[in-house]
Amino acid sequence: MTTLALVMIVKNEERHLSRCLQSVKDIVDEMIIVDTGSTDRTKEIAYSFGAKVFDFVWVNDFSAARNYALEKSSSDWNLVLDADEYIINNCGSIIRNFIEKNDKVIGRIKRIDEFIQDGEKRYAQSYLSRLLPKGVKYVGRIHEQVESKLPRENLDIEVYHDGYVYTDKTDRNLKLLLLELERDPLNDYVLYQVGKQYKLQQQLQQAELYFEKSYHLAPLGSWYRHSLIIDYLYTIIGNKSFEKGLKLIETERDRFADSPDFHFACGLFYMDLIFSNVNKYIHLFPLIEQSFLRCLEIGDTDKYDSVKGTGSFLASYNLGVFHEILGNTDKAISFYQQAANEQYERAIKRLELLR
């Protein structure tokens, strides 16, 4: 029988580790956990699940630690998870069928990230290469990537991740990314990740500089380019770099015509643009409604990394706000109702006030 290992690197994860291991213990044949210097109960918890635990001296390099952990696995396949992630769907048979039938392909899990935006919980989803045949390794000091030319396949493996809510690792990440950038200053992906850390820290001027550098270097086919464009556009909105934003949207509109996140960001961009100078930009006013309607036409998608609701209740809610401001109460109520039907709390509250 084809064998499967859970492979992890951890440090001081007593808060999350049990939840992760509990979610996979009936799926994997062995658990490999590499500890990079825990001072809490992390190792004790790992041992309680029957894991094989190894120590690794931290050298400011995530791929080095991950590759050490992969070397300790004796299985045919490796499932890579972090301690603040856990499987939430019944996918044991899906994983088994996949690894029994394949050996020259990499499986991609769907990770659902919980985060806080505008004072409320939001959920982003992305597909990540985490189910690896033996021999596949990582590169990159941080935000390490699987180094392989093997094809990727999206699988119905849902993994929930709430680490962004409980911990802020931007200072650590930024330090390692800048070290990586010293070694490889024109690495478009590392430039993007540096921009993301500055964006998370609300250092938007710095973020825009790095996103712009990455944007001009990233090949059109880059797997992360969609996320780069979205992050870049939101940063442009925050910095009020409106002329730059107009050029970006014009350049990328056709390429991301089927992305709800792109059109959602465009709708927000046009709102801020027009209110910045009504006389100059009023001719673009219809594009606000058109952008959010296009989101609803597309719907929520698995094609791109995406925030849940940009193709449904978030777009409906923004259309409700748009029409409420214009005095179109009936239309506003209709859109608010669409969002409320998906249990969006803000829409429910607007309906209570309007009725």
In a domain, 154, yes or no: yes
Q: 262 and 303 in contact (C-beta within 8 Å)? A: no
In a domain, 73, yes or no: yes
Q: How many CA atoms lie within 13 A of 216 on its CB side?
A: 6
Using CA atoms, how far residue 175 sits from 6, 60, 145, 202, 206, in Å, is: 29, 9, 18, 16, 15
Domain range for 104: 4-161
In a domain, 147, yes or no: yes
pLDDT attached to residue 165: 77
Using CA atoms, how far residue 133 sits from 7, 83, 94, 137, in Å, is: 12, 21, 16, 10
Listed residue (23, 138, 20) closest to 83, CA to CA = 20
Residue with tokens 């010293």: 182
Give the number of other CB atoms < 10 A from CB of residue 29: 15
In a domain, 61, yes or no: yes
Q: 335 and 320 in contact (C-beta within 8 Å)? A: yes
pLDDT attached to residue 166: 75
Q: 292 and 284 in contact (C-beta within 8 Å)? A: no
Q: How many CA atoms lie within 13 A of 204 on its CB side?
A: 12
Question: Which CATH number do you get for residue 139?
Answer: 3.90.550.10
Residue with tokens 């918890």: 45
pLDDT attached to residue 23: 98
Listed residue (43, 39, 38) closest to 18, CA to CA = 43
pLDDT attached to residue 91: 98
CA–CA separation, 264 and 259 (whole Å):
9
Total domain count for the chain? 1
In a domain, 191, yes or no: no
pLDDT attached to residue 217: 98
In a domain, 18, yes or no: yes
Sign of CA dihedral 273, 276, 281, 282: positive
Q: 115 and 122 in contact (C-beta within 8 Å)? A: yes
Sequential DSSP letters for 286-336: HHHHHHHHHHHHH-S-SSS-EETTTTTHHHHHHHHHHHHHTT-HHHHHHHH
Q: 242 and 276 in contact (C-beta within 8 Å)? A: yes
pLDDT attached to residue 169: 87
- Could you state, in chain order, the average pLDDT of each consecutive group of 10 residues for the chain (355 residues)? 97 97 98 98 98 97 97 98 98 98 96 92 96 97 94 97 84 94 96 97 97 98 96 98 98 98 98 97 97 98 96 98 97 98 97 93
Residue 162 backbone phi and psi in degrees, to 5: -120, 15
Q: 165 and 117 in contact (C-beta within 8 Å)? A: no
In a domain, 247, yes or no: no
Cα pseudo-dihedral 44, 45, 49, 55, rounded to 10: -60
In a domain, 263, yes or no: no
